[in-house]
Structure 1
Amino acid sequence: MSENKPLEREFAYTSVHFNTARTTLYRLAGIKLADSKDAMVYSRLVRRIRTLKLAGFSAYFEYLLSHENEHQEFINALTTNQTAFFREPHHFEVLKQYLIDNPDTRRIWCAASSTGEEPYSIAIAVAEHFNSFKTPIEIIASDIDSGVLKKAEMGIYPLDRIDTVSDIRKKRFFHRGRGSQLGNVRVVPELKQMLKFTRINLLDSFWPLKTPIDVIFCRNVMIYFDKETQEVILKHMMNSLCEDGLYIAGHSENFNMFPQIITAVGQTTYRPVKGLMSAKT
């Protein structure tokens, strides 16, 4: 983007506006936006400007400063939520093996649940392991974006979202919509009851979670944070895991730069370094 030169758009938009959005998102959520995201910021925030009937980006940032309730709308607008059922399927086989090897597992946390495909996939794997929806395991599904959490709690998806799900799983874990819901599917109520949805900002010093946690799914999230923020969050997560707990990362993430905190045990799977203090509450 050329310095301070407004683009020919509905609202004047300059590098100053982009950088204001970028620094505000980092302050509120710890997420760093690349220089290439300037067009995305415009297209996402212009919807808020229209909704609030404001004069433009400068007016919006003034509004954001004086209306704390807009902070969540701002975060929701600029966070990306790409997900799918059983994305990176080997992770769910790793989870099942962990449950076999650790029969006392009691708590799994999906730290970036987005619209719910990932935590429902976790719940399906757990239900299959126990051959029952009634299990001793608590599954917590969190996200910073309150909007996607509402969608996740509904558990309703377009039919094509489960194209890659096996027929056996489709029959057991989903109901086809009828009438006004034709073309959609809904997760079965028993599966939904296995999950507890809650909003968590990973930057917060306190997370409303019982610890220790046995398994944390935090996939393709850390790539949005700088190294210093990654270290803070990873340390907090490793201290929340039990000593033999499992951390499952995304295919694009690597934590070799934090050998004092986390150690690899498989393909994008990690454990806390021995000696880290585990939080137990």
Structure 2
Amino acid sequence: MSSTIYPPVIPEYDRLSDQDFGRIAELIGEHAGIKLPPAKRLMVEGRLRKRVRGLGHQSLADYCRFLFDGQGLASELVHVIDAVTTNKTDFFREPAHFVSLEEKIIPALLERHPGPEPQLKLWSAACSNGAEVYTIAMVMAEIAACHRHLRFSVLGTDISTEMLEHAARAIYPVAMVEPVPAALRKRYLMHGRAPSRRSEVRIVPELRHAVRFARLNLMDARYTIDRDVDVIFLRNVLIYFERATQEAVVSRLVGHLRPGGFLVLGHSESMIGTNLNLRQVAPAVFQNL
């Protein structure tokens, strides 16, 4: 006779009260621009418990007292954001954008960079674990192989310090890189030799040297980023923001594009850029006029 396995019962003191969830939701909304409706409470509780245990607190209620009634918020804010923010990304996600990058965006940019050694700057503005950054770098390396003097750099920024550390390591499970075309996997991925590493791959040094990572909060009033960027990717992030925040973020990003530069949004966000001085050149791809 088989026995039914029930999920563990979480004691009431280790749940977020209405007040504490409200305070965390307000905190995340103010500092990360992300909406946390009541339906997200269980998700928030689950993600915060690991941090709570790591600090030695007895419960979520104890942790919230430390945050809001003690002196913990100054040191803990970045960790709360790390725990709560969603970091969903894949290699070659929405692949049509990378076709546009190769066939439309880069040719148009090279016409505007007639010098003997064009230098292109690309920015992934919510890079998560770096999969998008390295996808961009792979595509750019393939293009550069056909344009001997072309140079490029890719910047990845994110609000999550944990994700940035992951991105800088450039190590991924083998299953995660399946969307990468076979020829590119062969050129740009290294397989681990140690038995414990055989289920992982690492991005080759040549690509790692072409990218860099930095922390940036899209909610900041100003971004300490160059204002002559050629291509900015910000995909599937704006959907978590209120409409006014969406427009403010896109407006700030466009301020960092050089004339003729391109902004790439997620397909579900394709209408967000239409109120700005941008020309749509492909689905969710806009050129700065």
Q: TM-score under structure 2 normalisation?
A: 0.86
Contact 1:26/1:32 (8 A) holds in 2: yes
Counterpart position of 2:168:
153
1:173 aligned to 2:180?
no
Unaligned runs of 5+ in 2: 1-9, 114-118
Residue by residue over 1:23-57, the C-alpha shift from the partner in whole angstroms, topping out at 9 and shown as x without a partner, is 01112212112332111011011222211122333
Unaligned runs of 5+ in 1: 1-6, 275-281
Contact 2:15/2:45 (8 A) holds in 1: no
Q: Which structure: larger Rg?
A: 2
Measure how far apart 1:174 and its partner are.
0.4
Of residues 94, 97, 102, the one that matches 2:109 is 102
Equivalents in 2 of 1:62, 1:170: separation in Å?
48
Measure how far apart 1:8 and its partner are.
4.5
What pairs with 1:42-57 in structure 2 (closer than 5 Å)? 42-57=45-60
Residue by residue over 1:232-258, the C-alpha shift from the partner in whole angstroms, topping out at 9 and shown as x without a partner, is 111111111122111111122133585
Contact 1:127/1:135 (8 A) holds in 2: no
What pairs with 1:30-179 in structure 2 (closer than 5 Å)? 30-65=33-68, 66-67=71-72, 68-97=74-103, 98-103=105-110, 104=113, 106-131=120-145, 135-179=150-194
Counterpart position of 2:6:
none
Measure how far apart 1:115 and its partner are.
0.7
Counterpart position of 1:278:
none
Residue-pair matches, total? 267
Counterpart position of 1:232:
248
Q: TM-score under structure 1 normalisation?
A: 0.88
Counterpart position of 1:188:
204
Give, as a single letter, the amino acid of the residue that structure 1 aligns with 2:157.
S
Contact 2:14/2:61 (8 A) holds in 1: no
Root-mean-square deviation (CA), in Å?
2.0
Which secondary structure state, in structure 1, belongs to the residue aligned with residue 262 of structure 2?
strand
With over 3 angstroms needed to count, the CA separation of the structure-2 counterparts of 1:63 and 1:149, relative to structure 1, is: same
With over 3 angstroms needed to count, the CA separation of the structure-2 counterparts of 1:93 and 1:12, relative to structure 1, is: closer
Counterpart position of 1:17:
20
